[in-house]
A and B are shown apart, each in its own frame.
Chain A
């Protein structure tokens, strides 16, 4: 039978690494989404500022 302390040490450490890797990828995905939204907004802002006013 596997020693309980040994099993706990390996499990906790892997869990810690997996949670951190998951949090990193989640934060990256959130940032990418925000960047895309902002790019659209900037594009809209520059388009509206470069369009000559209607007479």
Chain B
């Protein structure tokens, strides 16, 4: 993939996409009537959230593949995605309160959507902690795959929370049923912004995967060196 789509081209595409997204956010999308300018946080908050959820969906499928086939690549993908997804989930928890304070008058409330997103962030942390604390790599991969599969339940409930219950968090603006929806220019801006976030997500993911592969290479070489030393 590196030859067909080099990382430098991927990075250039991501930056260009973000320039287009920022142009649309600040110059194309109309100002929201009640919230005013602060509503433009929406264009980074929602894409961060969707990307964090996408990350856990990837972890779920990679974990299933690992549990079924014991594929090392699937395990590496799940591990790398957990680290990158955690960054995006942290982004949601930073931008959310910064939007909530001027609009709701509070930084945080324990409503269903917010609590489940916080739980998703904790799941990402649990996954990464298991990885770093368990010395046996096979055992770590197995346990993390189980966390990846069980944690997916939170993704489903988190996504459906604002559809199932009345929450302080706004109701869905996309695929929310009758009565929901936003200005077409806002929707276009949101989708372009999400595209830029996904492009960044996959750029960071391939960099993190390269790092994981280099770590495996290093472990292999250490083993070879130890063998060569013992033979001498």
Taking the complex as formed, is B16 at the interface, i.e. its CB lies under 8 A from any CB of chain A?
A: no
Say whether A16 contacts B214, CB under 8 Å.
Answer: no
| Minimum Cβ distance to chain A for residue B167 (Å) | 21
With known contacts A8-B98, A17-B200, A45–B225 Cβ distance under 8 A:
yes
The residues of A that contact B38 with a CB separation of less than 8 Å are: 3, 5-6
Among B10-44, those with CB < 8 Å from A are 36-38, 40-41, 44
Interface size class of A (residues with CB under 8 A): 20 to 34
Residues of A1-50 at the interface with B, using a CB-CB cut-off of 8 Å, are: 2-3, 5-6, 8-10, 12-13, 16-17, 20-21, 24-25, 27-28, 31-32, 34-35, 38-39, 41-42, 45-46, 48-49
B91 to chain A, nearest CB (A): 5
Contact B221–A38 (Cβ < 8 Å): yes
The contact size tier of chain B is 35 or more
Complex Cα distance A17/B11, Å?
A: 13
Query: What 0/1 readout, one digit per residue, does chain B (208-220) give for beta carbons within 8 Å of chain A?
Result: 1011001101100
Interface of B is mostly: helix
Q: Mark B190-232, 1 if CB is under 8 A from A, else 0.
A: 0000000000100010011011001101100110110011011
- Quick check: B41 and A9 within 8 Å, CB to CB? yes
Query: What residue in chain B is nearest A25 (Cβ atoms)?
Result: B207
Tell me, yes or no, whether B138 is within 8 Å of chain A by CB: no
- Determine whether the beta carbon of B90 is less than 8 Å from that of A16: yes
Q: For the complex, is B101 an interface residue (Cβ under 8 Å from A)?
A: yes
For B102, the closest partner residue in chain A by CB is A5
Choose one: A2, A6, A13, A24; the contact of B208 (CB below 8 Å).
Answer: A24
